Copies of this chain bind each other. A is one copy, B any other.
Amino acid sequence: MGTILPKFDSVFSIDCVIFGFDEGELKILLIERNEEPFKNWWALPGYIVEQDESIDHAAERILYELTGLRGIYMDQFYTFGDVNRHPQGRVITVAYYAMIRLSGSKELKPVSNYASKAVWIPVNDLPKLAFDHEKIFSKGFEKIRHKISYQPIAFELLPEKFTLTQLQHLYEVILNKKLDKRNFRKKMLNYGILKELDEKQKGVSYRAAKLYKFDKRKYTKLFQKEITFGK
């Protein structure tokens, strides 16, 4: 792709809001653009959908090409279709989000040179973004905030083994409010989707906490069913 978009009738693109949780902070994945427009600006990983691929497939491919992250399952959350959202023509973009585990810190290395780099940036410290990507990010953040209030999806962001305090901090960061420790634990344990391990946290200079795992089977059973309204 050159510096100027070809003249086109209409173009679909995908933009990805990928959430990660690291060092107690909620982060998203940004790229630095290496092409006009907005060259050298920060942006959500996003690019144009090919003619012969589904949008779900495109989302996966584009995320890979711009960040090096492979096989990330994403959900679509909103489509942005204002006429002038792209300075060079009509581009309607379908926004996807995912919450992923940063443990092991998969390497970020753009495959395409449309991005010069890909970096995790704390959501509380975002730079100015290209296009309408701030709006897209906000809507994505809203989406996970809403979703976490009816499905305990937070575990997707945590390492496989985690402490209850880590889980609580994550909730607090997403919901942007303090939660009560005892009530939080009661509620989480009551769901019955946490498995207590025989292990403890290591490398902390204070009393080590018990580690837990999510029980995916029970999670699926509990939350894939219909939402109920009582009798």
Which chain A residues have a beta carbon within 8 Å of chain B's beta carbons?
8-12, 49, 51-56, 58, 76, 78-79, 81-83, 90, 92, 94, 145-146, 149-150, 171, 175, 177-180, 183, 227-231
Contact = CB atoms under 8 A, between A and B. Distances in A.
A90 B82 CA distance: 21
B51 A92 contact: no
Contacts of A177: 229
Contacts of A228: 149
Contacts of A92: 12, 49, 55, 92, 94
Given A9-B10, A51-B90, A177-B229, 13 more contacts: A9-B51, A10-B51, A12-B81, A12-B92, A52-B83, A53-B83, A54-B83, A55-B79, A55-B92, A76-B78, A79-B94, A81-B94, A149-B229
Given A9-B51, A76-B78, A76-B79, A179 B94 contact: no
Contacts of A54: 81-83
B56 A81 contact: yes
A180 to B, nearest CB: 5
Nearest to A230: B183
A131 B146 CA distance: 32
Nearest to A180: B231
Contacts of A82: 54-55
| Top 7 A-B pairs, shortest CB-CB distance | A55-B81, A79-B79, A149-B227, A180-B231, A54-B82, A79-B94, A175-B229
Nearest to A177: B229
A228 B175 CA distance: 8
A132 to B, nearest CB: 12
Given A178-B231, A229-B175, A81 B10 contact: no
